[in-house]
Structure 1
């Protein structure tokens, strides 16, 4: 080897043929390395730990209480609730330990699809299976059922509600002063008379007086829509408010299949005297006079009683046309009849048998007098008059 080559090799070692001198690390560098390693190890541990927990959640048995529960917890199943939604409600109320536990038992039981909307008294810390058993039994629903019959005035309805619920008449009267909150239509002009629909209602434990009244107005809305109230009013040249007033008169005067005929009598009287008789626009309906007198029921009025409320707009023996508002709450049949009167030439009707409700319809005043005599003969042998 020549001297020149030896010198060159020493000054420029072959690539990769010599190791770089290692630099000694100080205490700070060692500390940093230890911290980094600790963080990495800690992250790996947490990741593995969480992964195990997640796997347990996904594939292990969900949390569930073992006992029948204690105390009392009120929960509500709302319309459209799925098993998962019910499970969340129960979990949030402390009834079940986990949503998944309830979903599992509900999925395995076909009865869960028939769980009814409403309130249920549950217990804290129930086993999911026990909670399901309680919910699938309709008898466990917390209900207060109230039936409001047809043909009642607002004052009568409030009396029933106050008697059957925890709210006073004054609380209902206060709620009635907020017609918008109750959902009354604009054409009711804030007057609930006729719009508190007669039906059977379930009163929930959290319902307020206003909630109960709103349910009744909502049920009226359903009946009105079913009868096509607004459309039929337009077709007959009347307002929806007028149709509701006509429906209330029909409710007071008729029964069943006679309602469309009574509806026709009212329209015939309103639209003119006719060629074979008529009342010159006077409806002459006793029920409206009774409303003016402040009394309910089907009671024949005397001449003296008619004269005592001569100035009342509800005295249909003195005032032509319709009264200003409904006189009572009509049911679905009466609302339908108001919008679909029967075809016929009748101007009069007389109920000749109060027990059966048999009613005869007349085109002329002479026919009317015949049926009226028949009614008087009936009353001579009946206590119903």
Structure 2
């Protein structure tokens, strides 16, 4: 009888702790809050550092070790994406964790005007904190190959610190899509010119 009582007590305690934990992570810090904050999660940030950032910006409560436990239990720590997030104290811990795991980072619209050369594009992207100017220019003029002329002018939606390599790939992919849609490669072949020659004309 004593053993059954202890077993019942242990299971009851586990059940109670589980209910309290699920309740705590399901309720936000401030319900129906209209406050929105852009929170930056730097690259390489671990679970404890993320919790500290969220506490500091009043997205979750102080000394909220429950969020660390949630991250550990979900085994999502390695999948959390760095970047800027639009967060609110009206979000509960599960919602915040899902945003971080899915990488729902803030993106910015940046327009590359027609006629801009690679230097002007690099300066614009650097000013908007999308890439570092020198890193971008090194990739544009890599050895004997230059992507000058292939940097398609358009409006792009990218996060801050997107990186030179990612930005260049995005712009080249955009150019390739436009070239395919407009059959520019076929037209170049019909004239006897290569695409590089058409670009430099």
- Matched residue, 1:128: 91
**Aligned-partner SS, 2:39:** strand
* 1:73 matched to 2:73: no
CA offset digits 1:10-39 (Å, max 9, x no partner): xxxxxxxxxxxxxxxxxxxxxxxxxxx655
| Alignment correspondent of 1:64 | 28
- Determine the structure 2 residue equivalent to 1:243: 195
User: Residue 224 and residue 119 in structure 1: after superposition, are their counterparts in 2 closer, same or farther (change >3 A)?
Assistant: farther
The 1-side partners of 2:132 and 2:161 are apart by: 16
CA contact (8 A) 1:153 1:193 kept: yes
Report the Cα distance in structure 2 between the residues aligned to 1:159 and 1:62, rounded to whole angstroms.
Answer: 45
3-state SS in 2 of match to 1:128: coil
Whole-Å separation in 2 of the counterparts to 1:59 and 1:171: 48
Whole-Å Cα distance in 1 between the matches of residues 37 and 168 of structure 2? 32
* CA distance 1:228–1:93, change in 2 (3 Å): farther
Q: Deviations 1:278-315 (Å, cap 9, x if unpaired)?
A: xxxxxxxxxxxxxxxxxxxxxxxxxxxxxxxxxxxxxx
Match 2:171 to one of 216, 229, 237:
216
Q: What is residue 117 of structure 2 aligned with on the other side?
A: 153
Go from structure 1 to structure 2 and tell me whether the alpha carbon gap of 1:158 and 1:234 turns closer, same or farther (over 3 Å shift): closer
- 1:232-256 Cα offsets, whole Å, 9 max, x none, are 36973857xx13542x3xxxxxxxx
Contact 2:151 2:172 in 1 (8 A): yes
Q: Please give the residue correspondences for 1:251-270 in structure 2 after superposition, counting only pairs within 5 Å.
A: none
Aligned residues of 2:109 and 2:155 also touching (Cα < 8 A): yes
Name the SS of the counterpart of 1:73 in structure 2: strand
Instruction: Give the TM-score normalised by structure 1.
Output: 0.31
RMSD of the TM alignment (CA)? 4.9
Deviation at 1:216, TM superposition (A): 1.7
- The 5 A counterparts of 1:289-304 are none
- For residues 209 and 50 of structure 1, the distance between their equivalents in structure 2, rounded to whole angstroms, comes to 51
Return the match for 2:159 from 190, 204, 227. 204
Cα distance in structure 2, aligned partners of 1:193 and 1:160? 16
For the Cα contact (< 8 Å) 1:158–1:169, is it kept in 2?
A: yes
- Give the unaligned 5+ runs of structure 2: 42-49, 68-82, 100-104
Q: Is 2:196 aligned against 1:227?
A: no
**What are the equivalent positions in structure 2 for 1:31-70 lying under 5 Å apart?**
40-54=4-18, 62-66=26-30
* Cα pair distance change 1:159/1:74, threshold 3 Å: closer
Q: Name 1:106's counterpart in structure 2.
A: none
Cα deviation for residue 211 of structure 1 reads: 3.2
The question of whether the paired residues in 1 share the 8 Å contact of 2:38 and 2:84 is answered with no
Cα distance in 1 for residues equivalent to 2:36 and 2:189: 61
What is the Cα deviation at residue 149 of structure 1?
Answer: 2.3
Structure with higher Rg: it is 1
Deviation at 1:92, TM superposition (A): 10
Q: Is the 8 A contact 1:145 1:202 kept in 2?
A: yes
Q: Which has the higher contact order (CA 8 A, sep 6+)?
A: 2
What do residues 60-95 of structure 1 show as CA deviations (whole Å, max 9, x unaligned)?
9933213758986236xxxxxxxxxxxxxx999744
Partner of 2:147: 192
Q: CA deviation at 1:192?
A: 0.6
Change (3 A) 1:43 1:144: same
